[in-house]
Each structure stands twice: as structure tokens, then as C-alpha cells.
Structure 1
Amino acid sequence: MGDVLPGGPGDGSVRGGVWSDLSGAARDVVQAGHVHGGVHFHSPAPVSAEVPVPRQLPGDVSGFVGRAAELAQLDELLPEDGGGPEGVVSVVVIAGTAGVGKTSLAVHLAHRISGRFPHGQLFVNLRGYDTGPPLAPAAVLERFLRALGVPGPAVPSGLEERAELYRSLLADKRVLVVLDNAATVGQVRPLLPGTTGCLTLVTSRHRLSGLAVRDGARRITLGMLSEQESAELITAATRGYRTGDDPGQIAELAQLCARLPLALRIAAERAATHPLFALPELAAQLRDESTLWEALSSPDEEEADAVRTVFAWSYRTLPPPAARLFRLLGLHPGPDISVHAAAALTEQEPRQTHSLLDLLAGAHLIESIGADRYQFHDLLRAYATDQAHQEETLEGQHAAFHRLASWYLYTADAACAAAQTFDPSILPSEQTGPAPVMAFGGQQEAFAWHQSEQANLLAVARTAAQAGLEEIAWQLPAALHGIHMARSVFDDWKAMADIGLEAARRLGDQRAQALMHNTLGIANKDSGQLVRATEHHQAALDLRTRIDDHAGMAESANGLALVHLGRRELDASRTRLEQALALYQQYGPHHWTGVVLCNLGFTAADLGELHQAAHFTRQALTVYRETGADHSLRIDALRLLARLARETGQYAQAEEHLADAFSLQEHSSFVTIDAALRLEQATLLNAQNRHEQAVEAYWVCERLQRSIGNRTGQALAYDGIGQTLRALGRLTEAIDFHTTAARILRDQNQPWGLANALAHLADVCTADEQSEHACQHRAEALVLLDGFTDPPAAALRQRLQELTTG
């Protein structure tokens, strides 16, 4: 979808608002159902906002045995009262060689002590030893902040700002954080909470001494399991499958596995699935296994050889289809894989693939992590990748990854089609995709798929670019544009578009380059980076002008106009929109004409040209009806007509427009639309002197704006509540709400909105006989208005000057 998500500037929309920072007010209301025209609410009842409690721990380790000494040591470090032998411990590092069971111990411990952390548990695999790049702290913080209730648009863009917000959210809370597979101190430190009420468990193959020196971390180092613990693990894993095994033979098998839990579990599973094989026979097979694997790195070569041997021993006994699937899974660049993606990788039916994946999971060569999803231990991933390199030709490897990348591309295209109907597919109609591409029942299913595949999609795009699949590298972010915009996943949105832009440059494809610049322009505008947004939209316009892409030129002009609108540069916005309109009217597509007409309506309304705004908006509605445009676009136009009717005193007409908009809203799931409608509805109720209902409607708006991270929209709701409370004579409360609105708008660098909020605050201060404060607020508002030359700004400036000198 292009830069057309519904809404006007500053009202909770992507069109002109700037989203950043975290919502501040912790208030909530009972939300009304669908609203048609007027609305009747229960009495206002703001309460504390409900903060989500993350529960991210993986399931506890099945059949966990051993590690009694280490658990006792951890119990001593982490007593229930929080005070260990040397005071409160807030960071614990579990270090040890690969495959020694660090993750199993950390997860088992986390489940044992999770009750001490009522505010939740966060878990992430930092992938420090994966074949791909380790997970960056900024990406982890984006995940954690979302899990803690921060909407995507409210997640700050910088690492430092994210870390500060993360620490602020965890202050005075008791949260357990598990950071698995950390490679460096630098990967961990930004993820540490700032208070002692939280506990962070870190697993790593390295000692991470810097955490002990600077952050007071305590470290325990895992060695191999003892002989007795190793025997207990094998016995527990084979119980019910084997009987009468000699303890000495069990000990010999354990010794051949170097007493490493990962190798022991694989060997035990082999023994369990071959109950008629005597243990000496299995041990002899292990000794005879001669395949050596050089990819594994271990400080102890004997341990490394043991792990290589166990992996190879288990792999060689797989049926050929399962063995092929195992090694091809090593070519998947993401952290996990679905059944359908695995089926595309191997050109098999999903049902058959599912059976083979379950077989691999049963052999402990992969791990099931949820419904139809699987992941590797990092050692096994590296082994699988190595086997693919050894046993598959280069052509075969390339073909397998191409099938996988194509499957992601076409499934992403199908997901975007289910999420919106405005933009057509970017894939050529004659281009056929792989089977089977998933089908989606609607927007929510598409969003859920994207959320589960988000990390994989970025990894596939990056690997496609590295593999020379340049077209897929730019088509994939292009196909995901609408979902990225709707879900506000700015990090991945920008990262994928950057990859796509470089791929398009290598291809010399100027049309594709312009498309990537366009999506980067919208991503930067929506995340508040207006300078970068201007640069990308201008670059797209230059490219499109060079290749005579008139519809693209119009789209870029529209994008630049919306950046101007966000800055309240209204004349510049109108000029760009007129350029876009002329191009669309001449070259099409026709439905985009409606978008530009509606944007012209918003610009004219902000200029105070209400008659002209209504003319543009009615024209837009006509185009939308003719082209069967998304309901969201029609709602946007109806909301603007309601605003224009309200501002000209035609309250009954405004109610009719809102009723029509709410009726269409039943078919749309964009919260931004609902929030903008509620704001207009509340403003109308206030204008009609229906103050109690107006306050309730403003609260509903505030709740919705907070849920999407629109701080500017929240501020407008607070400002509206302040105006309504002033009309009710509740001046002290009104001052509080206007003050809160002004603080937010100041933080958001919204000078026009701030000038209005300060003017309202000054009016209430005057009514409350606080003339000195009123003068201060008007003086600040006048300074802010210096940058605006439009008629409404001039009228507000004149009113404030008259009140200041009067």
C-alpha cells in the first residue's frame, strides 16, 4: 500500500502524525461497541492501564536430570529473599563449552524460580554462535519493548533510547530475563535491567568477564556431566524402551559421548528406538564411525570428536528423505522454520514434510518449538549446513535456497493481498511461484504469519542478496510494504528496504530503485525521520522522472506532500499535491486520484479553506465509490466531511457523516481509523455542549491512541478533555489535562499542536484567575507561531496578541 493510511495530520494517522516515545498517562475506559451517529456511554471511569505480563520462557526441559551441584550453587546465589552470600545478585552467567547443556540448565532454573518474578519473564536466543549474524541488541530491545506493551510506533529508533526506555519500564518491577547464546559482553549489556529487583540469566561459551567486572555478574562454569549423571540421563531417556542394560555398558556409551548432554540425548534416543540392539553393539558403531567434521570448534578436541561422531552416527542412520531434509534445513538462514517453508525447500508435500520433521525431532536432531515450527541447536545447524555442502552440488544448494526464497516471496505477496486491496501485487502476472503457497483468510491471519516469520523474512532477504538473487532481494521488501506499514515494524521495514535498494542498484533497475526509495520514504516519515523521508521521496521522484514513470512521479509527489503536511508547510504540500493530481488525472491509476483529492481536502481544511476542502473531499468519495476503494479510504473522507460540517456549525450533517463512517468501520480493523473517528466524535459532542458524553468519547480515543503508540493523538485527546472540563467549570482538572497535553506535544516537537494547547491552557488559567501563568503560556505560544504563515495560524497569533496586550 502506498502512503495512504487513513487520517489527517496529528490525529492518530500515519498520514501526517509523528509517532515516537511511550504513552505516558496510565488511564483506561470501558470501550463502547460500534457507534452510529450519537452515542450513549456509561459514566466515565478511567482506571490504570493494563500492562501486559510477558511469559516467554520455552517449555521446561523434559526429563531433566543431573546438575545437582550447579543447582545448589545457584540456589545459594539466588535465595528466595533475594540476598545471596555477597548481597543481591542481579546477573548470572552460565558458561561452558558447546553442547554442555547451558540452555537446558538456564531454562530449567528459570522455571524453578519464575514465581519470584510476578511481572513476567523475557527470553531470547541471541544466536551468538549461529552460522548467520548474531542478534543485535537493538533488535532484541524492539522485541522486548513490544512484549512489555510498547506499540511499534512508540519504540525509539536508537539503541541508547531503547535501552533507556527498557530500563524505565522495568524499574520497580520483578522480571526474569534469559539471554541465551550470548557471544560478547556488548551483545548483553544493553539488555540488562537497571534495578536489582530483576534477574538476568546469560548463557555463553565464553566467560564474559566484563560482566563480572563492571556489572557485578556471578558466573558458574559447566563441565561435563559426571559419570553418574550421564548414566542417569541415558537411563531416563530409554526407560520404557529398554530393560536389563548393564550399568558398565551404559557408562561406556556415556564416555563415548564425552558426557555432553546434547550428544547423550541423541545417543539415548538411538538406543531407545533400537531396543533389540545391545549397548555394546551401539558402542561399537560409535567407535567405527569415521566421519570427521571440521566445522565444530571446541577447546577440547576429544569432546569435539565425540560430538562429531554422535551427530554423524545418528545422521547416517536416517532414511534418505529425512537425511536430505536435515541437510537442506541447514541452508535456511533464519532462526526457525515452518512445515510449509521446509516443504518448499525440499519440493515435498507439507504432510510428508511434517512427518519427516517429526522424525528428526524424535531423534533430537531438531527441536519442535510450537505448532508446526522447528529449530536447530546451533551445533546441529552447523553440522547440517556442512553436510549440505558436502553432499549437495552447488547447483542443488542454490536451487534449494531459490525455492525457499521464492516461497517466502509469493507467500508474502499473498499475505499482503489478504491484508489490503489498495495496491496490486508487485509480481509479474506471467511469473509463476512455487507450490504450495499459503492462503490467508483475512488481515489478522496475514499479520499473524508475518509476526511468526518476521526474523526469517529479513534473513532470507539478506541471504538472497548475498546469493545473487537480486530480484527476490528487492521484490520481497516490496511485497511486504503494506504489512510493514500496517504493523509499524520500522527496524525490519527499513533494513529490508535497504537490502532491496542495493540489490536494485546492482541490477541497474531504476524502477525498482525508485520503489525502494518510496518505501523508505514512507517508513522514515511514519517513524518521525522527516529529513530522511524527504531525501528518499526526492530520490524516488528523480528516478521516476528520468524514466518517465508518470504514475510513480505522482506517488512521489504525494509522498513529499505528506512530509510537508506533517511539518504544517501547507502551501508546499498543496503545490506537491496539485502536481500529483495532474499526473494521476492524465496517466492514472484512477483510484490514486481519490487519495490525492482527499489529501488536498485535509490541506485546504488546515488552511481554513473549508468550502474548497469539502469540494475536494466529495470528489475523492466519488472516485472511491467508482473504483471500489478500501473502506479505510472512504472512512477517512467521511471523517473529514464531518469535521468540516462541525466547523461550519452543521452538527446534524456532521453526525450523519460520522454514522456513515462508523458503519464502514465495522469492515475495517485499522485502529488508527477508529482512534481518529473517536477524536472527531468527541470534538463534535463537545461542540454540541454534550460535555459528559464528550469526556467519555475522548477517553475512548485516548485508549486507542495509546494502544498504537500515537503520543500526538493522546495529547489531542487530553487537550480535548481539558476544553470539555473547562466548559463544565472544573478548572483545576482542566489545567492538569492541558498541561499534560502541552508536555507531550513539546516532547514530540509538534509546534502547531503545542501552540494550540498552550492557548487553551492560558484560557483556563485566565478563568482560574492565574493571569501571570496565562501570560507565560501565551508568550510561549506566540514564539511557536513565528514559523507559521497560514491563515489559521495568523488568526491564532492575532487573538493571543490581543489577549496579551489587552
Structure 2
Amino acid sequence: MHDAHSERGDQTRSELSGAARDVVQARSVSGGVHFHAPHHPAGPIPRLLPPGVPDFVNRAEDLQHLGASLASSADTSTPTVIVVIAGTAGVGKTSLALHWAHQVREHFPDGQLYANLRGYDPGQPAQPHDILERFLRALGVPHDDIPADTDSRTDLYRSLLAERRALVVLDNAATVTAVRPLLAGTGRSLTIITSRSRLSTLVAREGARRLTLDVLSDPDAVKLLQLTTDSYRRGDDPQELAELAQLCARLPLALRIAAERASRYPQQALGDLIQDLRDESGLWDLLTSGDDDEASEIRSVFAWSYQALPADAATLFRLLGLHPGPDFCTSAAAALAGITPNRTRSILDVLVGAHLLEQKARDRYQFHDLLRAYAADQVLHDETAESRAAALDRILSWYLHSTHNAITASMYGHPTLDLAPHPDSVTPATFTTHEQAISWYEAERTNLVAATRAANAHGMHQHAWQLPALLHQIYNFRHPIHEWLTTAEIGLASARHLHNQEAEAFLLYSLGKAHTQANRHQEGLGYLTQAITLQRRAGDLAGEAETLCGAGLACLRLRRLDEALTMFRQAQTAARQLDDPHQEAFASHLTGWALLELHRPAEALQHSLAAAATMRQLGDRASEIDVLVKQCDMLRQVGQLEQARDVANQTLTIASDTDDQVITAAGFIELGRIQQDLEEPEEALASYQRAAVLQRRLGNRSREATALDATGLAYQQLGRFDEAAEFHHRAAAMHHDLADSWLQAVALAHLGDALSAAGRNAEASNVWTDAEQILRQFDDPAAQELRNHVADAIGQGDQQ
């Protein structure tokens, strides 16, 4: 169980295109990097609104209120308009929002975005981080160009909306925190939020307008019943219709379910149906904690409709209450019930027709949150513990084996994990192409996290550690940090529960890589060190070699250079014992990197040349350019500038051929440094700016800051010192935010130089002093050299 592509764990493939390319003009302004959207948006126009409900009734006053918001959003002198539609569960907030959104969508020519925040679902709510990814992709940003952190995603999202007129619907928001990252910053867009809460902070701080939705009036409630049943039954007593409306608390959700039940039995007197409804009022006491009349009435309606289902539909309905995620496909539902997909599809149609389930897209189904809670309660009442456990085993096995099949079909390496056979009644998803596999992963990624959590919660610990161990191979390339950390932590707990030290070591390794990818190097090193201890105890030399490389990289970034060098050499030795030339070459490359940081470039170059030759011989082009991009700096530092430029250009060519934007960005930084040494500052400036923009797209704030700092150096070489200071200041601030003291000190030293050259001596002295204080914690040769430079600069400044 090893990570076959560990060297790619710090990288993300990407292709900058479409709408993303239109916002890549970056410049340091007032301490920040601003991204500018085009005046006329390019790329696809998102149309994400779900269908509106049929037979929408009245709400004339509420629609008029929304109409006033539409007029305000057209006024360019006002901030982005936000409307909160608040009200109790089932009152029709979503129906109103979608009905109005479809009515006015032509007023928003740049698109309509929709997300269900699942704030009131029994499971985990949707995360702004994940919703932003979906919105950015809908706005034309390729997956691999989407930044990794939430703040950067919000910045890009707001930049793309700044010059657009778009409608954004955020459904089922429980808190202000859940919606704030999803709000447009400026422009002529309009955001509608539905919530059971009043979201008062949003009203007070962002100026949102609140529309509180009441239950339907008596006439409107009766009208909705009549419209929904008119095709099936005629002549119902208006008084009985009014009584039915009162039993449904005049809530649209309950009214539609009751109307569907009445339509199914057109020959039965409405009075008899009402009596049935009254008799079934005690079947669902656990849906809500309150004893209010409204809760009791909606419980009765749900129970009434559930009792009328055919036996197989009722069974599937309640078993779906065990599904761990917010939505599901036919194949997953079939696994849960232990029946065929064809039969499942027919039953799902029955549930959709009874308004007990929603079909939100082709082969994607979801519950209203109240109905999901009801289904979860019914499965506790109507299924035995053994039946529930078997259903959970089926659905978790489906996710586990489907994930295994997805990785097998992907370009992310063949999984080496041995899985227990799945139950006979389960048919996992299969794939023939990388694109199919990744499309399935994207559709199920929220469910995969939920499945991992559910497996642990229900004591199915084998599933709970194996699923994140498999997902590591996808996460290692796609870097969804939040999901990676969540699943690996759960998996680690389950591995420890089972006393499975091999699984524990792998998940510690996975957690270490996730933390280092998120620039939390100290935390990452802690997990990686624990993994090494377990691997040595078990005699897992292959695992140890890989983990030593990961731990060494963490030490490298923490400026613990001697430790890093020791770990890389130990990894080389282990790989040699295993007769693994690839792993040995990778460890040799890292050894060269550590030697370079220790100011031993000639030795570093020898390791790099040997590593590149091996990778080339093995035909591993991706790993070869990993080596070459660092080799550029080694050649530059030994004074072989023309050869360094040739290698940099070679690296950029290969990176372009393979659509590898991570290496492209790194290659432009190295090329820029070479161009500066060759006295070509204009060319260097262009290289650095391209690198900064690409790193921003990739969401790597540390490398973006390094590119911005390098941009400042090019401006200094051009004699444009005030502009240089802006870039150095921004880089230092970003490194400070990332808690990277070493790179912060480097940027501060450069900032002091720029300020001094600009004649701003007092500011320069203060900045150099800050840099000197930070540098006291480092004792490597590079730190000593920089410390001497800063001390000399402070001394010269005191003499002026």
C-alpha cells in the first residue's frame, strides 16, 4: 500500500483557458493583488436554476417585493442587492425563489447560479469552499485552474462577477457564515437567500433586504389543493378542502403531498381521506423536537402519504434515510436496497410522483430536508437493526468498490489495496476512461466524505479506513484539502480502532502530505514522523523510503536543512536496497535540492544530473521535469547561465506539451532569475508576472508570494523602486499570513533594499530590523548570508 506518485503530491495539473484567462492581469495595488474581469464576459453562461414548481399560487405581494429588488439591482450606483427569504420549514421559500428567478432570468444575461447549502439537512451542510468550486467551473474556470483555498476562490468568484449581471440563488442557508463567501462583492448581480433563520447580521452588515414568508392564506391554500387535484377529482366540498388545508398547516410542501394522495384515490370521499389523515397523526413523533401544531400537522401529512405507498416503494423510501450523503444516483439507491438498478429506477419514479423525492438532474435524486428526516426516522421504526446494518454495508461497499474502479480507470495510478468482496446484490460503478472516472468522483465527492464519516460512526471501521486510503490517490493530484484532511483523520481513527498498524502508517503519511500541501509543514512533519516510526517497526522499507522523502520536504521548507539532507540520503539508501531506481532517483533529486539550500550548488548539480538521466531512461517525463526545474537554479548558481537558460526553456516546452501548469509556473520563476543574471530585467519581469498569475490560479499562495517577491527584484533592476516595494510588501504579508518566517524575512530584506533605493530610509531601517529579528531563528549558510546583508544595510543606514 504505497503512494506510487508521491513526487507529484505537491503539484496540480492545470490548463489556463476560458474565463480564467480573462482575469489574469494581476498587479499589486494598495497592498493586494487584484484580478480584473473583462468588460464583456467570455466563456459559458451558467444556467444552474432547477425547474420551478408547477401550479404556483399567488404570493402577489411577495413577488412585488422581489420585483423592487430587481429594480435596485439594475442601479449601478448601489451595491450588489441581497434578498433574504425567511420562513418556517415547508412554507415555500424555495418555490417562491425559483418561481421568481425563472420569471426574471432574462434580466440577468450573464447567467444564473444556484446552490443548495443543505443548512438544515440531518447530515453535513454544504461547504462554501465546495460551492465556490462548482460556481467557478460554471463560470468557465477549468477545474485545475481553481484556487485551492477558500479566500482565493472567493476573490476569483467576485472578480468574475464584478462586471456581470448575474442572479445567484443560495437555498437553505442556516448561518451567515455559510453565505458570506458566496456573495458578489460589487456589480449589478442579485443574490437571493432562503433560510429558516432571519440572518439578521446579513441584514445589518451587508444591507440585505428580508422578506418573511408566511403560510398561505386560507383561499390560496385551498386554491393550491384545487389546482393540484383538478385533473383527477371534481366536486370536493369547499369546507372539506379548507379543513384539509388547515390539517396541512397551509404549508405548500404538505399541501402538495396531501393533494397527490387525494388525486391517487379519486373515488374516495375527501372526508374519509381527512379522517385517515387524522388517524395517522401519531406515526412520526421524532421529526421535530417541538410540540407545536404546525409540526404535528406536517408529521401527519408525511405519514399519510408514506402509508399509501406500495410496499417496495415504502421500503426504498425509508432505506434511503440511511444514505449518508445529500443526493444519490440510481445505482447507489439500488445498492442500498439490494435490488436491481432497473427496478430501483421504477420505484424512484413512484417516489418522485408522490412528491416524497426530488429529481434534481438526470439520475440524481435528493430529499427535502424534512422528508429526509422523516425517512431516517421511519427506517429506525420499520427495519430491524440487522436489516439496517446490511443496508449500510451494501451502500458503503458500493462506494468503496466504485472508488477503486474509478482510480483503476484514471491516470492516477493503479490502487494496491486489497478489498474484501462486495455483497452479491451490489453492482459497483465501472468506468472505461479517465474522464468517466473523474466525472463520477466529482458527482460523488461530497458523498464519499459522508460515507467515510458514516462508516466510522456505525463501527464499520474497515470501510472507514480503506475509503480514505483509496481517495488519497485522487487527493494527491487534485488537492481538495478539506476533504483530504477530513477523510484521512476519520480513517486514521478507524485504523487505530482495528489496531491495523499498516493502515495507520499509511493514513498518517496521507495526513502528513495533506498538511504540507496546505503549507502547514510542522503539523505535516509530525504525522510523517509518526508514520516512519510505524513503518520501521513493521519493516516496511518501501513505505519508509516514500515517507522519508515527504518528511524531508517538510524539513526543507522549515529550514531544517541538515535534517532534510539526512532524510533524503536515508531514502536513497532504502531505495537502493529495494532495487527501486525510480525512488532512488527521486531521493537523489531531493538530496540535490537540500545541498543547494546549504549553498553547495556543485554537489547539488551532480545529484540532479544523475536523477534526470535515470528519469529519462525510465521514460518518466513528468518526474524528469520535476528534476529539471530545480536543476536550472543549480546551473545558475555555478555560473552556467546559458546552459541554465537552455534547461529552463526545455522544461517549459515539456510542461507545455503535458499541460503541466505547476511546472510552467516554477519554470518561469527560474527563467526570470536567469534573465536577471543575464542583465535582461524586462524579460525577467514578464517571466515573473506570468509565474505569479499561474500560481494564483493554482491556489498556491506561498509560491505566488515568491513570484511577487521576484517581480519586485526585477522592478529594482529596472530602477523602479517604489513599484518594487509594493510587490515586496505584498509578498512579505502573504508569507506572514502563511507563517513562513524564512520567506517572510527574505521578502522583508528585499523590501528594505527597495525602500532604501527609493530614498525612504526610515522605512527601510524599520523593515530591515524586522527582518533581522526573524532571521535570528535560522542558522544555515543562506540565513547567515542574509543576516550579514541586513546588518550591513542597517549600519549604512545609521550613517546616513
Same fold (TM over 0.5): yes
CA distance in 1, matches of 2:347, 2:719: 71
The aligned counterpart of 1:644 is 634
The correspondence for 1:598, drawn from 564, 589, 605, is 589
Q: Deviations over 1:499-543 (max 9, x none)?
A: 111111211112212222222212222223233223222222222
Whether the 8 Å CA contact 1:66–1:232 is kept in 2: the answer is no
CA distance in 1, matches of 2:340, 2:544: 44
CA-based RMSD of the aligned residues comes to 4.7
The aligned counterpart of 2:418 is 428
CA distance in 2, matches of 1:82, 1:294: 48
The aligned counterpart of 1:28 is 25
Whether the 8 Å CA contact 1:554–1:579 is kept in 2: the answer is yes
Q: Deviations over 1:366-409 (max 9, x none)?
A: 11112321110122223323443344333222222112111212
Return the offset for 1:640.
Answer: 2.0
Q: How does 1:280-299 map to 2 (within 5 A)?
A: 280-281=268-269, 284-285=272-273, 287-288=275-276, 291=280, 292-297=283-288
Q: 1:650 to 1:103 in 2, by over 3 A?
A: same
The correspondence for 2:542, drawn from 514, 532, 551, is 551
The AA in structure 1 aligned to 2:266 is: A
Q: 1:328 to 1:243 in 2, by over 3 A?
A: closer
The aligned counterpart of 1:665 is 655
The aligned counterpart of 1:744 is 734
CA distance in 2, matches of 1:737, 1:516: 39
Q: How does 1:773-788 map to 2 (within 5 A)?
A: 778-788=768-778
The aligned counterpart of 1:471 is 462
Q: 1:517 to 1:320 in 2, by over 3 A?
A: same
The aligned counterpart of 2:483 is 492
Q: 1:779 to 1:306 in 2, by over 3 A?
A: closer
Return the offset for 1:470.
Answer: 0.3
CA distance in 1, matches of 2:579, 2:57: 68
Please list every run of 5 or more consecutive structure 1 residues that lacks an aligned counterpart in the other structure: 16-22, 31-45
Verify: 1:621 aligned to 2:612, yes or no. Answer: yes
Q: How does 1:433-472 map to 2 (within 5 A)?
A: 434-439=426-431, 441-442=433-434, 446-472=437-463
The correspondence for 1:574, drawn from 558, 565, 580, is 565
CA distance in 1, matches of 2:81, 2:190: 7
Partner of 2:322: helix, strand, or coil? Answer: coil
The correspondence for 2:266, drawn from 278, 297, 315, is 278
CA distance in 2, matches of 1:771, 1:304: 71
Verify: 1:399 aligned to 2:390, yes or no. Answer: yes
Partner of 2:148: helix, strand, or coil? Answer: helix
Whether the 8 Å CA contact 1:638–1:658 is kept in 2: the answer is yes
The aligned counterpart of 2:701 is 711
Partner of 2:545: helix, strand, or coil? Answer: helix
The correspondence for 1:702, drawn from 692, 697, 704, is 692
The AA in structure 1 aligned to 2:688 is: Y
Verify: 1:63 aligned to 2:55, yes or no. Answer: yes
Q: 1:753 to 1:307 in 2, by over 3 A?
A: closer
Whether the 8 Å CA contact 1:91–1:216 is kept in 2: the answer is no
Highest RCO, 1 vs 2 (Cα 8 Å, sep ≥ 6): 1
The aligned counterpart of 2:148 is 153
Verify: 1:611 aligned to 2:602, yes or no. Answer: yes
Q: 1:655 to 1:218 in 2, by over 3 A?
A: closer
Whether the 8 Å CA contact 1:245–1:279 is kept in 2: the answer is no
CA distance in 2, matches of 1:756, 1:744: 12
Return the offset for 1:77.
Answer: 9.1
Return the offset for 1:714.
Answer: 2.2
Q: 1:536 to 1:305 in 2, by over 3 A?
A: same
Return the offset for 1:639.
Answer: 1.4
Whether the 8 Å CA contact 1:172–1:195 is kept in 2: the answer is no
TM-score after normalising by structure 2: 0.80
Return the offset for 1:478.
Answer: 1.2
The AA in structure 2 aligned to 1:225 is: L
Whether the 8 Å CA contact 1:366–1:376 is kept in 2: the answer is yes
Return the offset for 1:494.
Answer: 1.7
CA distance in 2, matches of 1:532, 1:431: 36
Q: Deviations over 1:126-176 (max 9, x none)?
A: 5454333x538xx446645885799553337xxxx9999999999999998
CA distance in 1, matches of 2:12, 2:741: 18
Q: 1:322 to 1:678 in 2, by over 3 A?
A: farther
CA distance in 2, matches of 1:417, 1:61: 41
Q: Deviations over 1:769-796 (max 9, x none)?
A: 6666666655554444433333334444
Q: 1:387 to 1:785 in 2, by over 3 A?
A: closer
Return the offset for 1:753.
Answer: 3.2
Q: Deviations over 1:13-52 (max 9, x none)?
A: 699xxxxxxx9x985289xxxxxxxxxxxxxxx9725699
Q: 1:282 to 1:638 in 2, by over 3 A?
A: farther
Return the offset for 1:441.
Answer: 2.4
CA distance in 2, matches of 1:140, 1:287: 45
Q: Deviations over 1:246-291 (max 9, x none)?
A: 573765664564533123223444566x5xx536446635634655
CA distance in 2, matches of 1:314, 1:799: 79
The AA in structure 2 aligned to 1:155 is: T
Whether the 8 Å CA contact 1:29–1:700 is kept in 2: the answer is no
Whether the 8 Å CA contact 2:394–2:422 is kept in 1: the answer is no
The correspondence for 1:325, drawn from 316, 319, 330, is 316
Q: Deviations over 1:540-572 (max 9, x none)?
A: 222223333333333333232111111122111
Return the offset for 1:80.
Answer: 3.5
Q: How does 1:716-735 map to 2 (within 5 A)?
A: 716-735=706-725
Q: 1:702 to 1:440 in 2, by over 3 A?
A: farther
Whether the 8 Å CA contact 2:556–2:594 is kept in 1: the answer is yes
Worse-superposed segment, 249-258 or 196-205 = 196-205
Q: How does 1:329-340 map to 2 (within 5 A)?
A: 329-340=320-331
Return the offset for 1:362.
Answer: 2.8
Q: How does 1:500-515 map to 2 (within 5 A)?
A: 500-515=491-506
Whether the 8 Å CA contact 1:152–1:489 is kept in 2: the answer is no
CA distance in 1, matches of 2:436, 2:633: 34
CA distance in 1, matches of 2:724, 2:550: 37
Verify: 1:48 aligned to 2:36, yes or no. Answer: yes
Q: Deviations over 1:679-714 (max 9, x none)?
A: 223333444445444333322211111112222322
Q: Percent identity?
A: 39
Partner of 2:275: helix, strand, or coil? Answer: helix
CA distance in 2, matches of 1:699, 1:218: 42
The aligned counterpart of 2:220 is 229
Partner of 1:330: helix, strand, or coil? Answer: helix
CA distance in 1, matches of 2:693, 2:201: 43
Verify: 1:262 aligned to 2:253, yes or no. Answer: yes
Return the offset for 1:673.
Answer: 2.6
The aligned counterpart of 1:523 is 514
The aligned counterpart of 2:31 is none
Q: Deviations over 1:625-663 (max 9, x none)?
A: 56565x432220121223323333434533443454345
CA distance in 1, matches of 2:23, 2:159: 15
The AA in structure 1 aligned to 2:25 is: D
Whether the 8 Å CA contact 2:585–2:615 is kept in 1: the answer is yes
Q: 1:299 to 1:710 in 2, by over 3 A?
A: closer
Please list every run of 5 or more consecutive structure 2 residues that lacks an aligned counterpart in the other structure: 14-19, 28-33
Return the offset for 1:419.
Answer: 4.9
Partner of 1:369: helix, strand, or coil? Answer: strand
Worse-superposed segment, 371-380 or 766-775 = 766-775
The aligned counterpart of 1:792 is 782
Verify: 1:537 aligned to 2:528, yes or no. Answer: yes
Whether the 8 Å CA contact 1:163–1:190 is kept in 2: the answer is no
Partner of 2:356: helix, strand, or coil? Answer: coil
Whether the 8 Å CA contact 1:565–1:603 is kept in 2: the answer is yes
CA distance in 1, matches of 2:8, 2:559: 15
